[in-house]
Structure 1
């Protein structure tokens, strides 16, 4: 859950290309749900593009224009994935910094926490 005093990086940019942020007390509000859905769609599109990239790269008849378009699409998908990772990373719980009762191990999250 995002603490109310932290901003959530949204998975889209504003009209001027600058990042958009959400300030909310709840993680389940309508804009949060929309952002979650957009993140999921971006990651799914990136996975599909990666499969397509493999097909294009193994095809010896792919022309330079197709490869340039693929590179541009992959760069966009990577930008989206990095934004999602940054946003989700900021929302991970912080380790206990008091030094009381904590272990020296890194925090462990269930696989479902990664989308």
Structure 2
């Protein structure tokens, strides 16, 4: 079974907005695949929203309700992506350490 410090933060919240975690060694298991699929949908939705946002923001005749809807959707997408980044960052931190690169080329 997974060590307590290797729990995966899932891309959804539990009751009262509390985070949900998965403890498993099976990255191909049902719950892991479900979480991967939901994360993919969340990232796709965020990318699509980000593509569409400039149109609304550049529209000087956009109604205040439209702007509030956009802000609400962007906030939700940012929350999802931040949760995903937190989860992935945690998984990277607990994975096996890699040897430092001796390649000093810049990006």
TM-score (norm 2): 0.84
Of 85, 90, 95, 2:97 maps to 95
- Quote the Cα distance in structure 2 between the aligned partners of 1:61 and 1:26: 52
Q: Aligned Cα RMSD in Å?
A: 1.9
Show the counterpart of 1:109.
none
Show the counterpart of 2:105.
none
In the TM superposition, 1:51-62 aligns within 5 A as: 51-62=51-62
1:36-69 Cα offsets, whole Å, 9 max, x none, are: 0000000000111111211101111101111011
Gaps of 5+ in 2: 103-107
- Quote the Cα distance in structure 1 between the aligned partners of 2:31 and 2:24: 9
TM-aligned CA deviation for residue 15 of structure 1: 2.3
In the TM superposition, 1:34-113 aligns within 5 A as: 34-92=34-92, 93-95=95-97, 102-103=99-100
Deviates more, 1:3-12 or 1:44-53: 3-12
Deviates more, 1:74-83 or 1:86-95: 86-95
The size of the alignment, in residue pairs, is 99
After superposing on structure 2, the runs of 4+ consecutive aligned residues of structure 1 that deviate more than 2 Å are 93-96, 102-105
Show the counterpart of 1:13.
13
TM-score (norm 1): 0.78
Structure with the largest fraction of helix: 2
